[in-house]
Each structure stands twice: as structure tokens, then as C-alpha cells.
Structure 1
Amino acid sequence: MTDTPVTGRTIHVHRQQYHFAWDHSIAPIARIQAGETVSLDMLDASCGQITAESTLDAIHNLKFEGVDQVNGPIYVEGAAPGDTLEVEFLDLQPGNWGWTAIIPGFGLLADEFSEPHLKIWKLEGGADGWAEFAPGIRIPIAPFCGEIGLAPAADGAHSTIPPYRHGGNMDTRHITRGAHLYLPVEVEGALFSMGDGHAAQGDGEVCGTAIEVPMQATVRLTVRKDLQVDEPQFLTAGPLTPRTNTAPYYATDGIGPDLPEAVRKAVRHMIKHLQKTYGLSRADAYMLCSVAVDLKLSEVVDMPHWLVSAFLPQSIFTSAK
């Protein structure tokens, strides 16, 4: 990879300018002044292994060492350890297709869904459009990137799969266009990278995939020496989920002495509701939970008796049940 020249106040990062680990030894592909903007053209989270024409064979042949790549890194002049990098999301434009999959061994209910499944989506209307899950079920597009982060101070290569204090795979669907994300800087220049475009996702991403899409993004990177954060913080662009928060929600509760099991119970109950009410297969119901259902901690004061609720927006259904 070669350095990308700075032109005016925006640089362009090409879709092949990516890496597979958070590692401060990776040379930056570009340097920018604080306050300048970066435009990124990003492949989907499979790094091109899955396409709009893919069949189930793509899941069987998926190479995990070649997924969750991030584009960058970008060196921001003036950023130093102890500072905060402010990431302002100016634009997020998904491609016209995406995919959701059940990948064996992956996801909240991996032990219950051992067979692979793949859904290829057609996206209509760009960032303000929709995608049809099945006849009568439309998902509003609300694009964001799951992977956003900086290089860590710790030596060595760190996987892009989990989240860290310096960012990473946060999968936070409220970091949409107009949001501001604040990340703690651990190394000189911050070394910013981003990837894993999502067209839509429910809080929790329970099956392990959202609507995974190629993405074009534009962000402004600003060094904040007046603000210190220990882990990521963010300011949303406005009310949460305004495109789906337009009708009642149907919720299923999971209750138990163990938080992970309470979460699983809530999702299992929602899967049964989707099967019974909307005639979905169990696998399709699970994928729809990952794309549209929000998980919320409804009660914690009686620990260890946890209550988790799975919220299904009724606005995604175009015909009443």
C-alpha cells in the first residue's frame, strides 16, 4: 500500500487499503491535519468473499482470517496519547445490496443454529431507503459502521473481532450520520481506521451479522485536547431509531439468575413469536432478530434475577397481524 496524497481538505481511502488487525506498527496510508475530512470506500465485512450473486457455498467456504477488515490507518497530526479523537460522521452511503447469515459456531444461539444460512438483500433508496426481508416485512435502512477505532499502545497485532477501549468492533447502531464519536488516543497520530458497514441492525446483533454492506463514508477527524475519555463515548445525531420508532413494539422477556441466559431466553421467546405470528422459519426469525430486534436491560435491581426484554418494532410489518 502507498500513501494517499492529501488533496484540499479531504483525502480518499480506496477499498483495497485495509488491514486485519489493530497494530500501531502498521504504517499509515495517509496523514491529515486535525479537522480535515476522510472519504472511505469500504468492502463489506467479508472483504469481498460474499457478493450479490453468492449462494450458501460462500458461507461454507468463508475464510475467517479474511473478515472484519478495516480501512486505514490515518495519521492525524497533533494527536498524542491522552488526547481524544472526535469522529464526526458526515455521510454514510450503503451499497445497493447486502447480506445476513447464520454462520455455524457464531452468534448468541450458536449451539441451537448449527446449519449455515445466507440471505442476500436488495437495498432500495440509498441511506434513506428500505430493504425487504420477506413479503410484508420491510426494514428501514439506517447505515452505520461496526468497526471504528484507533491503534492501541500495546505491542503486537490485536484482532478486529472484539471491541476495546480504543474502539474496534463496537457494532453500535446509533453511531449514524450526524453522530460524534469520542475515542481515547493511545499512540502518536491516533492511527484511525474504519470498516464493517451495516445497512441496518438491531441492538445486540444476536445472530452475529447485520445487513452487511459495502459502504462509502465521510468523516471529519478532530483532536480534542480539552476532553479525556477512558473508553468510547458518543453523541447521537438526534432521537434514537427515528425510522423505526413510529409504531408500537412487541416485547418478549427473558428472566434468570444469569445475564447471558436471560438474554438468550428473551431471544428464544421472540423467535417463537415470529414463527407463530408471521409464519417465518426458525432460521429466518433468528436473522430478523439480529437485523431488527433491540435487546434492553429492563430490570437489574434484583440481581441476580435479571430481566432482559427483546423489542420488535411493529413498524417493519406492512400488514397487520
Structure 2
Amino acid sequence: MGKTAIRTVCKVDFDKPAAEQPYLHNRWHPDIPAAATIKSGETVKIECLDWTGGQIKNDDSADDVRNVDLTKVHYLSGPFEIEGAQPGDVLLVEIMDVQPFEDRPWGFTGIFDKSNGGGFLDETYPSAAKAIWDFEGISCTSRHIPGVKFAGLIHPGILGCAPSAEVLNTWNTREGELIAANKLDRIVANPPEPINIHAGSASPELTTKIGLEGARTIPGRPEHGGNCDIKNLSRGSKVYLPVHVPGANFSVGDLHFSQGDGEISFCGAIEMAGVITINFKVIPSGLATLGIKSPIYIPGPVEPTFGPGRMLYFEGFSVDQHGKQHYMDVTVAYRQTCMRVIEYLRRYGYDDYQIYLLLSCAPIQGHVAGIVDIPNACTTIGLPMDIFEFDISPGAEVVKRDLGSCAFETGKKGLVVDDAGKNSEISFGGGLNYKE
């Protein structure tokens, strides 16, 4: 150990479109060819583009966020064959390190337009907006959200092994049933989409097949993990992933410099391109011996710490902004918790969209506090007070500052819909509502 350089099994090219790079793919499917082979026990480096494949630029306009092509995402590095892995095994993935590229020390947080991706609060904040973050060692600052600086809990948003044909069919069947039952005026799931498919080095014929069958990478799924956006899967974390196909066919991407619990604006982390260093070990018959059906993980030792007295907690309940009572709806409660933070921080000079972006990417602590006391679920958000350059503690003097603005799409600047969801009758998971 330590006598040879760590092998890089995937290199990305910023001068070539993501869809032309053979070590990348943007669908889950068992037949996507392996990009490289890794030995059990080996540590390797894997380069990753940002999840959009370079669609978002370091500038002061959110037009790129408004116009992002979501049929192309996520661009993942892989899949990688792990020698000896077989269905029923568990792949132990230890995240040794994650870093941005030295010549690209920046990332972005976006609020997606309600008609193109949306976000957790898109009924109230429907416009596209963006913040660019500059990395300074372990910390980050933004010209679009001045007055804050914090250490990033750097991590991958997506990692998982390929589904088998049977697992893939399960995904497509149950998500298809949800789509068929939908009564909403919004997309509730993304079926296989034969547009802008990238299947690594697959032949044109195989790529067509993958486009018709392959699952979109947007949601996490219980059988393999995938896009879980868990901020604590940082350096030193160990993740135990179910294996469904020979070789496991592991993929990774969607690297984040930082993220809050919930990633509420959808593009809510500080998204970045970078390099992840991983050690792989195969645990034979691990699903049976560990007694698991879905991934489990042990977090690493590097989470930024804020003393208990330096966290300001906000509470939310299952009563929406119009005073409507919902039954034990955690998502309604968490939305209301977010709104309480936004209301509090407005007083210092931030606009709502700046705070929405900050809640998405700063290391907030989101918790379910109570789910048994009918009719109200209770959720909390812990806001680290020390990320601000001024005192936001209760009782301190409130000074309204000129704190600039985030980047907005052309022709719009912070549209706020005050009566969002006013006529709702029935709540559903996600905290949104629909009429009978």
C-alpha cells in the first residue's frame, strides 16, 4: 500500500460533449457495457462531470437553469465491473476522498423553473434562479448569496449497482402504474424515454433497446440506492449496495460540494465536477448474511460540527400556509418548516430565492421530530448560525443589509405566488396538492 499511484479508471473531457464520452451513461440498464474492470479490494479514482454534463455555466444568468435539458441527465461515470461480484452479493463501497478538479474550483445551486423540473417549494417560487459558489479549500462563498461562508460536506449524490432485467421490469411496472393513476397537472414519474439516451460504448442497436427499457436516473430506488442525495455519504463513509447482475456494474456521479437535508430546490446541492476515490470489496452472499434488501451505510468522520447552542431550530407542522389541516403529512410540515426559515432570514436583507437556495445547499439539519401525535406531524430544520458573517441569533440586533441578488432567468426576478395551493382538497406525498 502506498507504493504505487492509485489507478484512474475513468477520465472525463470538458472539451467533448458528455454524450460522446464512452465512460459515461444516463440510464439504468443491465446491458450497458462496462467502462472498466476493478478488482475486489482495489482503490481507484473516478472522474465525474457535473450531473447535467456541463449545461450550467459560471455566469450571472439563470437562463441555462431554465432551459436545462432534463432528458439528458444524470450523466454517471461507469458502469464498472467488480471482479467476482454475483447476484445476491453485497458491494461494500468505501468513499476514500471526493475533490473538485483543481482547475474548476466552483459549483452551482439552481432553482428549476416549475415547468421544467420544479422543486419542493415550486408552487410558491416557480421561477428559475441560480447561485455560483467559489471553493476556497474546505469552504465556499457565493457572490450571489453574500454574507455566508461554510465548510462543505463533500459527497456523491448518486451511487448504485445496475438492476437485473427483473428488477428493471419491477421499476418500470410500478412507476408506470403511478403515472397511469395520476390526477395531477404535473409529472409524477419519468418512464423510459428514448430521447438523448447515452449508453456508454453500446452499439446503436443496443442503445435503442436501452432507450426503450432503461430507467431514468432521477429517483432513488429501494433495490439499489441510486439518486439518494444523502449529504452524510462523505469521505470515510461505507455504503453496502445490493448486487443484481454479474460484476455488479457500479456507477457513480452527481458530485456535491455541500447540501442541506432534503436538497429542496431539486438542483439544491452545490453541484460540481470532480474526482471520487473509492475502495471496493465484494461480500459474498451479503444480502442474506447482512439481512438487507436496500442499501445501508455508515457515515464518515468528517462532518462539519456546530455546537448545540450554535444551531437555531425551526418547527413546522401538518397545517399548510392557508390554515388547512392535513393528517400526519410530513412533507406539508417540512415545507412549512422551510417557510419559517425564509420568513426569519428575510429581515436581514436576503430575498426569498436567496434563502431557498441557501436552504438547499448549506449544511442544515432536517429532522422528523414527531409522527405519532395526530393530526400533526412535526419536522424541524436546524440552521447553523455560524455560517453567517453577522449575528442571526434571537435577541440580537436585526440590521437589514444590501445583500444583492442571486441570478435569475431573463425577464423574471423572484416571482412569488402568495396563494399557492389555496384551493387544494387532498394532500399527497411530496407535500403538493390536487383537486378531486
Partner of 1:283: 353
Partner of 2:317: 255
Partner of 1:242: 304
> 1:141 and 1:252 mapped to 2: Cα distance?
22
Deviation at 1:303, TM superposition (A): 4.2
**Match for 1:134 among 141, 145, 148?**
145
Q: Which amino acid aligns with 2:120?
A: L
Partner of 2:263: 205
Judged with a 3 Å threshold, the aligned counterparts in structure 2 of structure 1 residues 303 and 38 are, in CA distance, closer, same or farther, namely farther
The DSSP-based 3-state class of the residue aligned with 2:107 is strand
Deviation at 1:142, TM superposition (A): 1.6
Q: Is the 8 A contact 1:9 1:36 kept in 2?
A: no
**Match for 2:228 among 166, 170, 183?**
170
> 2:96 and 2:273 mapped to 1: Cα distance?
17
Judged with a 3 Å threshold, the aligned counterparts in structure 2 of structure 1 residues 102 and 222 are, in CA distance, closer, same or farther, namely same
> 1:267 and 1:248 mapped to 2: Cα distance?
19
> 1:247 and 1:213 mapped to 2: Cα distance?
32
TM-score by length of 1: 0.91
Greater mean deviation of Cα atoms: 215-224 or 8-17: 8-17
> 2:136 and 2:308 mapped to 1: Cα distance?
20
The 5-angstrom pairing of residues 64-103 of structure 1 reads 64-95=70-101, 96-103=105-112
2:163 is equivalent to residue 113 of structure 1: no
Q: Which amino acid aligns with 1:35?
A: G
Greater mean deviation of Cα atoms: 54-63 or 70-79: 54-63
TM-score by length of 2: 0.68
Q: Which amino acid aligns with 1:251?
A: Y
> 1:41 and 1:168 mapped to 2: Cα distance?
18
2:36 is equivalent to residue 12 of structure 1: no
Q: Which amino acid aligns with 1:301?
A: V
The 5-angstrom pairing of residues 53-72 of structure 1 reads 53=59, 55-72=61-78
Q: Which amino acid aligns with 2:361?
A: V
The DSSP-based 3-state class of the residue aligned with 2:149 is strand
Greater mean deviation of Cα atoms: 175-184 or 33-42: 33-42
Cα RMSD for the two superposed structures: 1.9
Judged with a 3 Å threshold, the aligned counterparts in structure 2 of structure 1 residues 81 and 123 are, in CA distance, closer, same or farther, namely same
**Match for 1:146 among 128, 141, 157?**
157
State, as a whole percentage, how many aligned pairs show the same letter: 33
The DSSP-based 3-state class of the residue aligned with 2:71 is helix
Structure 1: which 5+ residue stretches go unaligned? 1-6
Deviation at 1:169, TM superposition (A): 0.4
* Structure exhibiting the larger radius of gyration computed from Cα positions: 2
Partner of 2:373: 302
Partner of 1:264: 335
Deviation at 1:23, TM superposition (A): 0.7
Partner of 2:184: none
> 1:247 and 1:138 mapped to 2: Cα distance?
19
1:262-304: CA deviation from partner (whole Å, max 9, x where unpaired) = 111111111111112x221011111111112222101122144
Name whichever structure is richer in strand by fraction.
Answer: 1
Partner of 1:3: none
Structure 2: which 5+ residue stretches go unaligned? 13-20, 169-212, 319-326, 393-436
The 5-angstrom pairing of residues 303-318 of structure 1 reads 303-318=374-389
The DSSP-based 3-state class of the residue aligned with 1:173 is coil
Q: Which amino acid aligns with 2:257?
A: A
Deviation at 1:160, TM superposition (A): 0.6
> 1:183 and 1:303 mapped to 2: Cα distance?
36
Q: Is the 8 A contact 1:123 1:130 kept in 2?
A: yes
